[in-house]
Amino acid sequence: MDLARTEVSREGTRPVKQAVRPARTARGSAARLGLMAVPVAFFAVFFAYPVAAIVARGLKIDGVWQLGRIGDVLAQPDVRHVLWFTTWQALASTGLTLLVALPGAYVFARFDFPGKQVLRAVVTVPFVLPTVVVGTAFLALVGRGGLFDELWGLRLDTTVWAILLAHVFFNYAVVVRTVGGLWSQLDPRQEEAARMLGASRTRAWRQVTLPALAPAVAAAALMVFLFTFTSFGVVQILGGPAFSTLEVEIYRQTSQVFDLSTAAVLTLIQFAAVVAVLAVHAWTVRRRETALRLVDAATTARRPRGAGQWALLAGVLGVIAVLLVLPLAVLVQRSLGASGFGYYRALTREDGGAFLVPPIEAIGNSLQYAVAATAIAVVIGALAATALTRRDAGRFVRGFDALLMLPLGVSAVTVGFGFLIALDEPPLDLRSSWILVPLAQALVGVPFVVRTMLPVLRAVDGRLREAAAVLGASPWRVWREVDLPMVRRALLVAAGFAFAVSLGEFGATVFIARPDNPTLPVAVARLLGRPGDMNYGQAMALSTILMLVCAVALVVLERLRTDRSGEF
């Protein structure tokens, strides 16, 4: 009798459990959609709307779409040359970066040596530097009156090599930290087992290690290609009139030629290319996450053995010294000049030319804008990352994930100019508001916040959230008391990345920063655009200040970083 009651009781509770589970799933879906509402609205208003506005302004005449204009623009020889050069230099930059950085990825993954963590921070400094600073550093190295010009009479700033080397400088850390992060977690015993079965060192690496690394190499290559395909600041400074990427050409068509039709077509072409690259990148990341079994990275690194490994370490250190450290050292040296701190003192004076205020005020402006942009990016990015936490998300949520990455590849010039065109009428008349610059900068910072927080949020045991919800906690209280304590450090790291990239944003800010409130990158570009040694020296001084601020932010990030795998 008791047994029968037990069975009846179990049978009676089963429908209740089945009913509760869909209810929880429905509440979870509703909560996720609620979290996504704010980021979706933010991207719709401040990204999709400005981009659509400038495209419509260029391709609509008297309310009629002129889609035939796309074929007309593509038929122009100059445009075809820009498309060819954009693609060619991106492929060349990607291949050269992999060639130079893969040995460094191996050294950081497999070798343990004194000063490794400091050197890791040094390697990462170029990645967080604004592109304007990178271009200025290489201008000081290979340009007129630069180090190469003084020593050997060699100038590279009028050749494509300056652009390629600057892109390698900028993206070296992408390969080292993305590929090296996975490499350090691959079990070396697999390759050792192949060696014991008679395979040579080369064959064991080619058939065991390389297939495991291939997704990470592909992901790093795609990210480098994306960054170089949309390159603006580096090409603008080093390329001159001889070389122009799509991003530079969009800027020229909008700000100099005022041909919005051509700019709109180029924007659509770049957008299509970026979407394709991001789709392939998402596929490689999913493959990488599901196909590998990893070990603790701390157990795979060891001291170099033998002359060959020590020579490899010395070679990588030499590359880092020449390719990464030397341009920044020359930048600092040029900022001092023959008069010591004369260029720095000149920043405090009004010149009545390029600036309505002393250039030194650009430092305070940039810091204020970056703080505001960081606050916006952290709020939007944290909400988006929380909504993306569940791995059983549907296609709509995965599409939302891809949407968050688009600002990294879509023309920042188009976004900036779109701000001026679209946000000029009530209730969104923001052209005269200071908040316009932080909004544009936050668009670039949000993807970094999401990518930093998402892995940590996914590592939180979901049963903790379910237990809190069963006990009656609201979704906000669950996040505050379960997720937040575990992701606090990741949130600080995300804020640091958002601050660094906001500080150096140039493509959109060059359009919307007011003359009486310039940012550091805009001030550097204006000074470089004026003749004279004093303007050149002041540009070097401002670039050095911007570099130091970004380096300090990176040092703080390294101290706060909780994930030692080396991922961004």
The pLDDT tens digits for 85-115 are 999 999 999 999 999 999 998 888 888 888 8
Q: For residue 288, how far is the Cα from the chain centroid?
A: 20
SS3 of residue 7 by DSSP:
helix
Instruction: Provide the β-strand partners of residue 531.
Output: none
- Phi and psi of 41, rounded to 5°? -65, -40
**Lookup: tokens for 182:** 């996975």
* Cβ neighbours around 196 below 10 Å, total: 10
Q: Nearest CA to 121 among 556, 493, 500? A: 556
Q: In the prediction, which pLDDT does 14 show?
A: 46
- The rounded Cα 504 to chain-centroid distance in angstroms is 11
Ranges under pLDDT 50 in the chain: 1-21, 23, 289-294, 296-297, 392, 562-568
pLDDT score recorded for residue 57: 79
Give the DSSP letter of residue 300.
T
Place of tokens 């401002």: 542
CB 568 within 8 A of CB 178: yes
**pLDDT in the model for residue 445:** 87
- Cβ(173)–Cβ(123) below 8 Å: yes
Residue type, 244: S
Contact 468, 481 (CB under 8 A): yes
CB 222 within 8 A of CB 287: no
User: Which three-class secondary structure state does DSSP give residue 472?
Assistant: coil
DSSP of 255-274: HTS--HHHHHHHHHHHHHHH
Place of tokens 């069975």: 7
The total number of residues written for the chain in this structure: 568
Q: Please give the radius of gyration of the chain, using alpha carbons only, rounded to the nearest integer.
A: 26
Q: Are 262 and 79 in contact (CB under 8 A)?
A: yes
Question: How much is the pLDDT for 222?
Answer: 85
pLDDT of residue 558: 65
Which residues, at least 6 apart from 259, have a Cβ–Cβ distance to it below 8 Å? 253
